[in-house]
Chains A and B, each alone.
Chain A
Amino acid sequence: MELKKELKCLGLVFVLLAVAFKIAFYQESFIVVARTAFSVMWTFILPGFAVVYCWKSLPFITRAIISIPVSAAIIGTASYYLALLGFNVNYHAAVLPLVVIMIGVMVNWRIARKKQGQKKE
């Protein structure tokens, strides 16, 4: 239930980003604006958000904003090293944010399960 609410809020963030971009770049086509807003979400918000979800006690707005530098640091660093190891940087846009999101979700799921187990005990 809580997760559903958070996802709705993230959806709202995407819409607001798109609106802000459209206002600032009003000569730009809707499709470019939408793609750019999606890129901000995909590169700078969602990966970090999945990581900082661990600190659920923080308000949603705080988590959404702090997820930006967290995403930037994780995605940028991982991209640098993976490329050095031979994984071409041109594939990172599709793969890297997804992997970080999945790792974040898995870690949070394990934390939640551990907490539930502790409650039952």
Chain B
Amino acid sequence: MLNSESKKTILTGIFLVFLFTLLLYVSAGKLLNRSIEHSFPYGYLASDPFFHQTRTQGIKDMGSYSTQPFYTAAGFDDVIGAYPPLMSHLAIIFSGTAGLEIYDGIYLLVFLLVVFSALLMYITIEKYSQPVAVLASSLSVFLFSKGLYVPLTWGNWPAILGSFFIIAILWALTSLELKNSYILIAILFTGAALGHTSELVFILMAITLWLGAELLIQRKLLKDSIKALFKGGTIAVILSSYYLLIFYKVWVPAEQQKLFHVFRPEMWGTPYFTLSAFGWTLLLIALGLIIAFAPVKNSKLTFLSFALVILGFANWIGMDFRALQLRFFWPLYLSWFFGLGAYFIVRLITKSKAFLVSMAVSAVFLIIFASTVPNVQTNPGLMLSQEHWDSFMWFKGNTPLNSSVLFFYGDGYNQNSILRNTGRVPYQANMNSMTKMIYTGNVSRYMLIKVIGNDGTRLPYRKGLFSYGFHAVEGFQEEIERDICGFDYYVIDTKTGFESMLPFIQFNLFLRNSFLANNMSEVYSNSIVSILMNNAKGGGCFGA
């Protein structure tokens, strides 16, 4: 016969399996068409997912992240790997073990990180109250609500990894009483530093606010906690020092310029999240806030959760769009208050069976909230088609590494990180230049052409052990008038899914015919893409 504690453990286990399955079902399961493996990157809805995918693929191909893959760095082969490296390395190991392509593995991994975060928040709240944790979990479905689904499909992936570590650190902070807890702090701080450093900054700010609030409101100086944090933090700094130095030299100067500037959410080119998205659940959250603060209960979790919610508004005080990224996990930071509010109501109904009723109520909430998860349009071809993918893969197996590839108009090519999938240095013809040529009929040999790969880090390279130069500010010209005939390969789309783009396809076909008549030959084609090879690079190529 099972005792009540064992029964509770079994029920908790069942609930967590239900939560995990439901979250996976409504998110990755739905978006990825109920399949794990795909024949090309599926459900990628912007440039940034390809940016992360190609970088990770490049690291896998090179064997390390000592330098940025050259085809993701405008052709430079000495650009140091400055992007937080943890996501890529985890994706390579996860995909390798599962036998998945990088593009499938990394995408699934990001969804798993979100779902794992919901489980982490459960065990964090569970320490204070199991029924509250159960009720709080239902709010985690909002991680996949309209305003938050975008970070997944638009590629805010490292920020999601950073937020995942914030939740893990929350758990560790509420477990500082454990013997040698500083080890956990050290491990998780290191993960955050190498995962997405801005989230480490936010959790440090939240910790400062928490310790300050304890001192001012509770009149408590938490010496033991500070000691454990200092010890763990010091180890983390040592463990992540190699990358932190790169971060300090490459990212900090760029971010510093934005400090103390007001960043209005609309300035971000990404749909952002506001509190109103929580709808009627705000009533329970407000009730929970009153319960938590009057007087302050479980001060550690209360102060930390509240601080992380408030820091989501730090875009107004100079934390730029990073603060808006922190909002991705608002449903988890607010869930403690939601759980408290909901449990208060449950306790009004029943006191003796509060745990069981909480579980039933939470299951109902989960199902109701799950029905609001948006149907994201992911039909193949929306961003990338099988034909495009096949043409990119052709380059990898059939062309020299140092080939230059010029892309004219193609559906989805405006999200230009896609083009890095060729594994060769991609160049892109400027849309305005092409439009001008189409409407004036004056096709010239020189036009604005952009080399793809300047990703905001300014293409840093190492000058000495602690000194860096930046190609992007040392004479590098990203988009200039270039000779159309000066490339090795040309990617010419012969079809479009958009009627308004037909003039560009006609222009493509005109160029293709001219090229074929002047020193070029077709080396690959399918129903959408034609690839031409230039047999006289720099010579005449269209009779001009």
Contacts and interface: CB of A to CB of B under 8 A. Distances in A.
Interface of A: 16, 19-21, 23-28, 32-33, 35-36, 38-40, 42-44, 51-52, 54-55, 57-59, 61-62, 65-66, 68-70, 72-77, 79-81, 83-84, 86, 88-90, 92-94, 96-97
B327 to A, nearest CB: 21
Nearest to B121: A65
B151 interface: no
A58 B204 CA distance: 26
Interface of B: 9, 12-13, 16-17, 20-21, 24-25, 28-29, 32-37, 59-60, 63-66, 85-87, 89-90, 92-100, 108, 112, 116, 119-120, 122-123, 126, 161, 164-165, 167-168, 171, 178-180, 183-184, 187-188, 190-191, 194-195, 239-240, 242-243
Contacts of A28: 34-37
Contacts of B165: 69, 72-73
Nearest to B111: A24
Given A20-B21, A24-B24, A68-B120, A80 B97 contact: no
A25 B187 contact: no
Contacts of A55: 178-179
Contacts of A69: 116, 120, 164-165, 167-168, 188, 191
A73 B192 CA distance: 8
Nearest to B169: A69
26 contacts: A21-B36, A25-B29, A26-B29, A26-B34, A28-B35, A28-B37, A35-B98, A36-B100, A38-B98, A43-B90, A61-B16, A62-B123, A62-B126, A68-B116, A68-B168, A69-B116, A69-B164, A69-B188, A70-B188, A73-B195, A75-B90, A76-B90, A77-B194, A80-B65, A83-B63, A83-B89
Q: A-B pairs with the 3 shortest C-beta distances?
A: A73-B191, A69-B168, A24-B29
A51 B17 CA distance: 23
Given A25-B34, A66-B171, A92 B17 contact: no
B187 A24 contact: no
B241 to A, nearest CB: 11
A32 B34 CA distance: 12
Given A20-B17, A77-B191, A84-B242, A43 B94 contact: yes
B400 to A, nearest CB: 23
A61 B96 CA distance: 27
Contact of B239 (A16, A57, A77): A77
A59 B108 contact: no
Nearest to A81: B242
Nearest to A83: B64
Contacts of B122: 65
Contacts of A43: 90, 93-94, 97
B261 to A, nearest CB: 32
Nearest to A34: B98
B90 A72 contact: yes
A93 B93 contact: yes
Contact of A32 (B37, B95, B243): B37
B89 A73 contact: no
- DSSP majority for the B interface? helix
Given A27-B33, A28-B34, A32-B37, A66 B120 contact: yes
Nearest to B23: A24
A84 B123 contact: no
Contacts of B190: 73, 77
Given A16-B17, A76-B195, A80-B89, A24 B168 contact: no
A33 B100 CA distance: 11
Contacts of B34: 24-28
Interface centre among A16, A25, A61, A97 (most CB of B within 10 A): A25
Interface centre among B64, B87, B179, B190 (most CB of A within 10 A): B64
A86 B66 CA distance: 9
A16 B123 CA distance: 18
Given A66-B171, A69-B116, A69-B165, 19 more contacts: A20-B20, A25-B28, A25-B36, A39-B100, A52-B184, A65-B122, A69-B164, A73-B188, A73-B191, A73-B194, A75-B90, A76-B191, A77-B194, A79-B93, A84-B64, A84-B242, A88-B63, A89-B59, A96-B93
A20 to B, nearest CB: 4
A79 B86 CA distance: 8
A80 B25 contact: no
Given A25-B34, A72-B86, A65 B60 contact: no
Nearest to B18: A20
Given A83-B63, A92-B93, A77 B240 contact: yes
Contact of B24 (A20, A38, A39, A94): A20
A39 B35 contact: no
Interface centre among A23, A54, A55, A89 (most CB of B within 10 A): A89
A66 B123 contact: yes
Interface centre among A39, A51, A55, A58 (most CB of B within 10 A): A39
Nearest to A69: B168
B246 to A, nearest CB: 11
A90 B64 CA distance: 9
A39 to B, nearest CB: 4
A43 B195 CA distance: 16
Nearest to B98: A39
B12 A61 contact: yes
Contact of A75 (B60, B93, B171): B93
Contacts of B99: 32, 35
Contacts of A81: 242
Nearest to B171: A66
Interface centre among B35, B59, B94, B243 (most CB of A within 10 A): B94
Contacts of A38: 97-98
